Structure 1
Amino acid sequence: MTKRITNKSVEKEMSFLDHLEELRWHLIRATIAVVLMASIAFIAKSFIFDVLLLGPKQADFPTYRLLCKAARFIGMESFCFEELPFRIQSRTMAGQFSAHIWTSITAGFIVAFPYVLYEFWKFISPGLRNEERKTSRGFIIVASFLFFIGVLFGYYVVTPLSINFLGSYKVSEQVFNDFDLSSYISLVRASVLASGLIFELPIIIYFLTKIGVVTPEFLRKYRKFALVIVLIISAVITPPDIASQVIVAVPVVILYEISIYISKAVVRKQKRKAKANVN
């Protein structure tokens, strides 16, 4: 009897260790994918910095041109300018090299995001039932699509609005804006990644509904509180002017409303399945 208990405990311990080993390899493969994409980004330094990162600093950036046309249409010139009144500098010996490394890693993570999700899904999918795996088959595609839409929104909307406001803001004409390279990159990185993660809201609501944490009624009941949270998030990732906050808040509110319909669809399907099992 003692021997049998010992074998069971050893078997359980080995099973747990096997899961840890499997998780380790999934993390290793995901990390390798990020490093490979980061290496490509590191080599493409001119494109990453001159075109992508420093693009929102130029007056001919697409967002500024569009906002300028819209402003002129209503008789304003607030978004029309020839040059943003600030410079970017590096004030530490390793500043530019460090910025190059971390920017490459960020770019590598963004590009490799679908594969990272794939490795995560491969780890958790064996624990799901066959029907759950079938219904969640498009998880990687949908989640990746939403993430990239959020990244583009952060790059073309949040980033230029933030740079235009903060780069033009002055407390005195005697103070000139000289921003450190790391500060500028941090703003772009935070805007892009935060937007990418925020746009994952429908996916999060889907899984929370599946496990019974939230319901459509709950989401409708606390819609007003959610709106306040959305405005707070918009205030955090955008400059403190009302126009920018509204521009960012609108798509997030739309995502919240879509999440309610997704939650409703999940609950409806669960009720239909439960009714079929009873019959």
Structure 2
Amino acid sequence: MIQHLEELRKRIIITLVVFTLFLVLTFIYVQDIYNVIVKDLPFKLALLGPSDIILVYLMIATVVAIAATIPVAAHQTWLFIHPALTKERKVTSAYIPALFILFILGISFGYFILFPIVLNFLMSLSNGMFTTFFTTEKYFRFMLHMTLPFGFLFEMPVVILFLTSLGIINPYRLQKIRKYSYFILIVISILITPPDFLSDILVTIPLLLLYESSVSLSKFVYNRHQREKESKKYESV
């Protein structure tokens, strides 16, 4: 037991060290990243205090560092659990790049699709009645609320596939808890979006589709494992 805790501690420390290194490296170039993000904005961002820009730079650097650290964190997790695996070792190693790719896809979906739609909708509500005034800190905080959660939520198919390949869950169990999963995903979508109906709908629909695609993938992996078991039974006979 103590040996396992020491191993877990080692993997966590390595992951945190790598994250810190990426954070420092990103912070060196964060101004260039900031300029790329804001270059096409149709309005100027304002600062209310000298510390605002540091907070914004830190938010940007943290997101980039998290994305860069995901493959390392996944690999460290695999190193921790792989002694207990047998035939699943080769399969689980394939999930490491998939985690990174899906995280990037999730952020891209939030940034390039969801964020502009929600921002334009909220802007249209003023209908020329108000003067638009965005602070840098609030703009980026709003943008991160609309993008970063999707980076993690898009990991759902890989996580479910991984757990299915290990035999921890199966698609039929996922189907049984579908209504509870839907409820949780709807609550999550309400919590991570601005308080308007359009944002909730735009976030909820992709999350439900992600869940259903995860169930379908889980069923594919589960059925394949069942066929392999059946073929082994016939071979033994």
TM-score range, shorter chain: 0.7 to 0.9
1:49 CA drift (Å): 0.9
Among 148, 151, 154, the residue aligned to 1:196: 151
After the TM superposition, which residues 58-207 of structure 1 pair with which residues of structure 2 at under 5 Å, given as runs? 58=41, 83=42, 88-128=45-85, 130-170=86-126, 173=129, 175-207=130-162
1:48 aligns with 2:3: no
CA contact (8 A) 1:42 1:101 kept: yes
1:167 CA drift (Å): 4.2
SS at match of 2:93: coil
Q: What letter is aligned with 1:41?
A: T
1:36 aligns with 2:21: yes
1:29 CA drift (Å): 2.1
After the TM superposition, which residues 237-276 of structure 1 pair with which residues of structure 2 at under 5 Å, given as runs? 237-239=192-194, 240-242=196-198, 247-275=202-230, 276=232
CA contact (8 A) 2:30 2:60 kept: no
C-alpha separation in 2, matches of 1:28 and 1:225: 35
| Bigger Rg, which one | 1
Distance 1:114 1:211, change over 3 A: closer
Distance 1:121 1:167, change over 3 A: farther
Distance 1:24 1:98, change over 3 A: same
Among 3, 20, 24, the residue aligned to 2:5: 20
CA contact (8 A) 1:158 1:237 kept: no
**Aligned residue-pair number:** 233
Q: What letter is aligned with 1:166?
A: L
1:195 CA drift (Å): 0.7
SS at match of 1:142: helix
Q: Which deviates further from its counterpart, 228-237 or 258-267?
A: 228-237
C-alpha separation in 2, matches of 1:168 and 1:89: 20
After superposition, the C-alpha distances for 1:46-94 in whole angstroms (9 at most, x for unaligned) are 3211212x25x62xxxxxxxxxxxxxxxxxxxxxxxx45xx53222332
- Corresponding residue number in structure 2 for 1:78: none
CA contact (8 A) 1:35 1:105 kept: no
C-alpha separation in 1, matches of 2:161 and 2:21: 31
Q: What letter is aligned with 1:18?
A: Q
- Determine what percentage of the aligned residue pairs are the same residue: 29
Q: What letter is aligned with 2:94?
A: G
Give the superposed CA RMSD: 3.0
1:125 CA drift (Å): 1.5
CA contact (8 A) 2:157 2:213 kept: yes
After superposition, the C-alpha distances for 1:171-222 in whole angstroms (9 at most, x for unaligned) are 982x534333322222222222211111111122223434555432344455
C-alpha separation in 2, matches of 1:237 and 1:165: 17
TM-score, scaled relative to structure 2: 0.80
C-alpha separation in 2, matches of 1:209 and 1:50: 43
TM-score, scaled relative to structure 1: 0.69
